[in-house]
Structure 1
Amino acid sequence: MWRIGQLARMAGVSERTLRHYDKIGLLVPAAVDRTTGYRWYGVAELSRLERIRGLQRLGLPLRQIAELLDAPEAQVRQALTEIVATIRRDITTLAATAAHAEDHLAVPMSILPQQAAVDSRRLRVRRMRLDHPGELAAVCPAPPAALLTWLRGEPTGGFAAAVTTDGAGEQLFLPARTVVRAVVPPSAGVVRAGQDLFGWLHRHRLEVTGPTVEEHLIDDDGAHAIVLEVTVNPRRCTRAARHGEGGVVAALTDPAVLHDDDPVGPADGAEPVGDQDAGGARAQLLQPVAAAVPVRGRQVRLTAWAAHLAKRSWLDERHREDPGRTRAADAGR
């Protein structure tokens, strides 16, 4: 028989960990001296401890280990399968987050774009054809109002537009769709924010599939805000991305790549609509560009692989961590 300190040294754990296991009923001593309160452990407890630590290294939490410690192997394998699926989902989420952060560090922007699913909406609009973006300021009514344009980037010629009206006007239906939206900071201005937003879309391989909505909002105190909202399909890459690494590098370093010869949008007189296939796309995570691109004199690789390795290292470290460091100390010995 071994005392708690001896078992701790043999298994490479802390005495506090063993006290915690005893407290939650995961590893009870073979005997406890009624006079001194010392815990005594035998071979059976050592074997049980090794199994606990082994399952913990495989990613199982203590609560689940308690349920599986004496369970059949098939039940343990099923639990591990679920753990692996959860870890992979976490890796995917963290990889997308890392790609967005890398992009923001590599290419300073005035906005923080967010992808979201929005419901359908009906608008009363007045259509028009404009020759230059400078004409937009003159046609946009006072807030609250919305300005819609059908562009893939900075226009190089005429383009379709529409503004909302209070009453009379043509009815426009925007179906439920996936959008990328951003609030325009007062210090940036809508022109710069729009350029930053379309550059972000190209770098993240999101194809514009509907109108850009420029929403002018005002609250009861008279504060004014502008929200940009671009309809996208995350499952289809832009033409620049389809060109491969050259197209991606151009999207990151050359604003001219935003000029496209075949803009997505309605032909003259056609009904503008939003993303027709947004339902399945809502669950899609943004995929980072798989290319090393030069940005401001350094190489930035927007891939999920580095985030994957970092996540795996973090998980390994967490499973090796001594659970006794948590707030679960037992006052007894």
Structure 2
Amino acid sequence: MFTIGDFARYGRVSARMLRHYDAIGLLRPARTDPVSGYRFYEAAQLARLNRIIALKDLGFSLQQVGAILDEQVSVPELRGMLRLRQAELEAALTAAGARLAQVEARLRTIESEGRMSADDVVVKRTETVLLAELSGIAASYGPEDIGPVIQPLYDELCRRLAAAGVTPAGPGLAYYEDAPEESTGNTGNTGSTSDGGSDAVVVHAGMVVTPEALAKAGAKTDGGSGRSGTPTPTGLGFDVVTLPGLDCAATVVHHGPMSRILPTAQNLARWIDANGYRSAGYARELYLECPPDQEKWITEIQEPVVRA
């Protein structure tokens, strides 16, 4: 027989682990001295210990290991458990590969620019939100065309929300879509127009609101929530829309005025390309902080992406 120390050494485990296996009934010692409490093991028990270690290395819990060793798991069940573990490991490898690609992309950025980028990109899902909004047409998606349209929209939206007694429940959120070919006006009655054309975009300037606030203000929206993704008039001078979240968005935080957003957007575009994604539509802008001093503005850019 072996003492617990010798058995642990031959089995390549710790004595503490053997005591734990004894406590949970996974591997009992062949004999325990009734006076000293010392545990003793037989050489034949090394086979069971080796099976425990092998099953643990496959990722099974100790409870599952015990059931397998005691033949409480049938062969079809064991096959299913192994296939599930195989799928889990494959998913972990995929995730690790994505992280490796991000590390390699960051290394390339540091090597090319000689410094750490201040624009940290995070891929995540975004939530569905209820927005009160006004919209207008911009000649293009460029900052020089968006700025003159979106700022008046937000000024007017805030004025109309205040007049209706609706207090925003969250930050502003702007989103964009291609303008119809024959666009000659806007849906927010702000006077922003364009000649249409292939480059024109619809600018949606929204503020997060609650159904309760809309109902209290007397909004007429067939339930006060608006159809998913479709702006609905409220009768209060603004529309309401339930904007679906993005399943996969590459996001980055921009500091400062929106007139200087282009470098941040370009860094995001480079990250998307370097990390095996491609853009799936116009980016959204979540205005986290908008104090009077625009240098202190904090905006999150949310660009929908898919794997390339």
CA shift digits 1:34-81 (9 cap, x unpaired):
233332222443332222223223332323212222115514333322
Q: What is aligned with 1:6?
A: 6
In 1, Cα distance between the equivalents of 2:65 and 2:241? 57
Aligned pair partner of 1:90 in 83, 89, 92: 92
In 2, Cα distance between the equivalents of 1:79 and 1:163? 50
Q: Report the CA distance shift for 1:28/1:201 in structure 2 as closer, same or farther (over 3 A).
A: same
1:77 matched to 2:83: no
CA shift digits 1:218-274 (9 cap, x unpaired):
48xx974222223x351xxxxxxxxxxxxxxxxxxxxxxxxxxxxxxxxxxxxxxxx
Q: Report the CA distance shift for 1:55/1:125 in structure 2 as closer, same or farther (over 3 A).
A: same
Q: Report the CA distance shift for 1:18/1:46 in structure 2 as closer, same or farther (over 3 A).
A: same
Q: What is aligned with 2:205?
A: 164
In 1, Cα distance between the equivalents of 2:57 and 2:206? 62
In 2, Cα distance between the equivalents of 1:187 and 1:211? 17
Q: What is aligned with 2:101?
A: 99
Matches within 5 A, 1:270-281: none
Matches within 5 A, 1:55-134: 55-71=55-71, 72=73, 74=75, 75-107=77-109, 108=117, 110-119=119-128, 121-130=130-139, 133-134=143-144
Letter in 2 for 1:112: V
In 2, Cα distance between the equivalents of 1:78 and 1:148? 46
Q: Report the CA distance shift for 1:39/1:192 in structure 2 as closer, same or farther (over 3 A).
A: same
| Paired residues of 2:252 and 2:302 also in contact (CA < 8 A) | yes
Letter in 2 for 1:116: R
Deviates more, 1:57-66 or 1:157-166: 157-166
What displacement does 1:134 show? 2.4
What displacement does 1:119 show? 1.6
Q: Report the CA distance shift for 1:3/1:127 in structure 2 as closer, same or farther (over 3 A).
A: same
Letter in 1 for 2:17: T
| Paired residues of 2:2 and 2:43 also in contact (CA < 8 A) | no
Q: What is aligned with 2:301?
A: 228
What displacement does 1:121 show? 4.4
| Paired residues of 1:148 and 1:162 also in contact (CA < 8 A) | yes
What displacement does 1:169 show? 5.7
Q: What is aligned with 1:271?
A: none
Letter in 1 for 2:263: R
In 2, Cα distance between the equivalents of 1:200 and 1:5? 54
Letter in 2 for 1:134: E
Q: What is aligned with 1:183?
A: 253
| Paired residues of 2:121 and 2:271 also in contact (CA < 8 A) | no
Matches within 5 A, 1:1-333: 1-71=1-71, 72=73, 74=75, 75-107=77-109, 108=117, 110-119=119-128, 121-130=130-139, 133-139=143-149, 140=151, 141=154, 145-150=172-177, 158-164=199-205, 168=237, 174-178=243-247, 179-186=249-256, 189-203=260-274, 204-210=276-282, 212-213=284-285, 215=287, 217-218=289-290, 224-230=297-303, 232-234=304-306, 287=307
Q: What is aligned with 1:243?
A: none
In 2, Cα distance between the equivalents of 1:211 and 1:14? 54
TM norm structure 2: 0.59
Deviates more, 1:39-48 or 1:117-126: 117-126
- Aligned residue for 2:280, secondary structure, equals strand
Q: Report the CA distance shift for 1:169/1:86 in structure 2 as closer, same or farther (over 3 A).
A: same
Q: Report the CA distance shift for 1:2/1:119 in structure 2 as closer, same or farther (over 3 A).
A: same
- Aligned residue for 1:192, secondary structure, equals helix
- Aligned residue for 1:209, secondary structure, equals coil
Q: What is aligned with 2:221?
A: none
In 1, Cα distance between the equivalents of 2:144 and 2:62? 63
What displacement does 1:101 show? 3.2
Instruction: Percent identity, please.
Output: 24
Letter in 2 for 1:82: L
Q: What is aligned with 1:302?
A: none
What displacement does 1:171 show? 6.6
Q: Report the CA distance shift for 1:193/1:171 in structure 2 as closer, same or farther (over 3 A).
A: same
Deviates more, 1:123-132 or 1:158-167: 158-167
Q: State the structure with bigger RCO (CA 8 A, min sep 6), 1 or 2.
A: 1
Q: Report the CA distance shift for 1:194/1:50 in structure 2 as closer, same or farther (over 3 A).
A: closer
Q: Report the CA distance shift for 1:121/1:96 in structure 2 as closer, same or farther (over 3 A).
A: farther
In 1, Cα distance between the equivalents of 2:288 and 2:85? 46
